[in-house]
Each structure stands twice: as structure tokens, then as C-alpha cells.
Amino acid sequence: MSERDLSERLLNFALKCFELNSQIPNKKEYDVLKYQFSKSSTSIGANYEESQSTTFKEFSQRIRICVREALETRYWIKIISALKLGDKILVEYLSKEIEEIIKILKTILRKTTNSN
């Protein structure tokens, strides 16, 4: 997978997360869920994009942030799934996609950490 492919994948993931977020009812009790989910899901790609123009050390730090944001996003998806919010097929897709994204990012992190 090229850098551009991963960048596109993270962008598409964030857009799908926004799609799911728009399906969550506008109720006060869901405000923090919607806010945190949108923040963490978009932060993965934003930090990855920023990592593309940094030093090697900064690159590793940005990828580490991407992993943390991806793990947080996985948590919010689990909550959304448990509450049975949004389209079930979309939730399942995002659940699988975030697992793959986490694996990819952890592999990148492991390779950059081992290179130091």
C-alpha cells in the first residue's frame, strides 16, 4: 500500500464516520459521543497527512498519535454498535475497517521504531 493509498483510505474512513455520525439522533445524551467520534476519526487521517512532511523522528511520533486516535475511534464505534445507533451495515463496515487501519498503523509504527 502506498502512502497515497493509505491517505485516501483514511479520508474515506473519516467521511464514512461522518455519515454514521449524521445518523445518530440529536439528543443531548449523544452530544459527547458524536463530538468525540468525529474528532478521533478525523484525527487519524489529519495526523497521517501531517506525518508526510516531517522528520523521521516526528514521523514516528505522528504515527503513534494515529494509532492512539484509531484505538479511540474503535472504542466509539463499539459504543455506537452497542447502542444500536445508525445503519448496522455501516457500523459493521467501520468496525472492520478500523481494525485493518489499526493493524496497518501499528505495522508502520513497529517498522519505524525498529529503524531507530
Domains of the chain with bracketed CATH: 3-115 (1.20.1440.60)
Other CB atoms within a 10 A radius of the CB of residue 57 amount to 10
C-alpha dihedral sign at 82, 85, 31, 21: positive
The percent helix, strand, coil of the chain (3-state, each to 5) is: 85, 0, 15
For residue 69, give every residue at least 6 positions away whose Cβ sits within 8 Å of its Cβ, in sequence order, or none: 40, 41, 43, 44, 47
For residue 58, give every residue at least 6 positions away whose Cβ sits within 8 Å of its Cβ, in sequence order, or none: 51
- pLDDT for 15 equals 98
Other CB atoms within a 10 A radius of the CB of residue 100 amount to 11
| pLDDT tens, per residue, the chain with 116 residues | 666 799 999 999 999 999 999 999 999 999 999 999 999 999 999 999 999 998 988 999 999 999 999 999 999 999 999 999 999 999 999 999 999 999 999 999 999 887 55
**This model's pTM is above 0.85:** yes
